Amino acid sequence: SQQGEEDPQALSIQEGENATMNCSYKTSINNLQWYRQNSGRGLVHLILIRSNEREKHSGRLRVTLDTSKKSSSLLITASRAADTASYFCATTINNDMRFGAGTRLTVKP
């Protein structure tokens, strides 16, 4: 079963704009990860944030985690057309990883 819910389900922006995707989950977690998936392809790991961390950065990516609200956000700054993909959050509880429904991001050139 899925653990996380993501919003929006779909997001369309212009190149250069920032994109923010949110993920909410229901139970306590060990960590939360964000992945990217191009259409019909495998998953690419973006960032892992542990339950005791609140924010992490990686290049143009910024992830926040609010365990009190059981939510996380992924911010992509200065988006590029190549960022067009589906983005999934995944929570890890013990040894299980569960995925959110994903956000389909389209960046228009």
Partner 1 sequence: GAVVSQHPSWVICKSGTSVKIECRSLDFQATTMFWYRQFPKQSLMLMATSNEGSKATYEQGVEKDKFLINHASLTLSTLTVTSAHPEDSSFYICSAHRGGRATDTQYFGPGTRLTVL
Taking CB under 8 A as the rule, does residue 1 contact partner 1?
yes
Inter-residue contact 13 to 104 (CB < 8 Å): no
Decide: is 87 part of the binding site for partner 1 (CB under 8 A).
Answer: no
Residue 95 sits in the site that holds partner 1 (CB under 8 A): yes
Question: According to CB under 8 A, which residues from 9 to 68 bind partner 1?
Answer: 30-31, 33, 35, 40-45, 48, 50
Is the CB of 25 or the CB of 88 nearer to partner 1? 88
**Binding-site member from 24, 67, 98, 106 for partner 1 (CB under 8 A):** 98
Using CB under 8 A, pick the residue from 32, 63, 88, 105 that binds partner 1: 88
- Of 109, 71, 63, give the one whose Cα is nearest residue 91: 71
Return residues touching partner 1 (CB under 8 A): 1-2, 30-31, 33, 35, 40-45, 48, 50, 88, 90, 92-102, 104
